[in-house]
Amino acid sequence: MEDIPKYPPFLRGLPAFHPDLLLQTQEPLVRRLQDQLKLTDRQFTTYILPCLRNYAAYVHLLPASQNHHHRGAGGLL
């Protein structure tokens, strides 16, 4: 029944993932951020990582725009 086309078409939406899993997909950028901030591992884990987790939980897999660059799933991340 799911494969039968409907009108109007229904967009299925985006899957849900844990924020830590979303951040793992951006690991090179997170490491680069840590290197640029010149914080210890403990400082980064204490102060920066919670902010990144909260941001990932908030924007999740939302696209950044409808028609421009970063328009795909995860574009805001």
N- to C-terminal Cα distance for the chain?
34
Structure tokens at 75: 């574009």
Tell whether 7 is covered by a domain: no
Q: Model's pTM, two decimal places?
A: 0.75
**13 pLDDT tier (thresholds 50, 70, 90):** confident
When comparing pLDDT for 1 and 59, which is higher? 59
Span 18-74, pLDDT tens digits: 999 999 999 999 999 999 999 999 999 999 999 999 999 998 877 877 777 777 777
Closest CA to 56 of 28, 12, 15, 26: 26
Residue 66, classed as helix, strand or coil, is: coil
Tell whether 42 is covered by a domain: yes
Phi/psi zone of residue 10: left (φ > 0), alpha (ψ -120 to 50 degrees), beta? Answer: beta
- Which residues span the domain enclosing 45? 20-77
When comparing pLDDT for 15 and 26, which is higher? 26
> Which residues, in sequence order, are CB contacts of 19 under 8 Å at separation 6+?
53, 54, 56, 57, 60
Structure tokens at 31: 């490491």
Q: What was the pLDDT predicted at 1?
A: 60
Q: What was the pLDDT predicted at 49?
A: 97
Instruction: Count how many domains the chain has.
Output: 1
Tell whether 69 is covered by a domain: yes
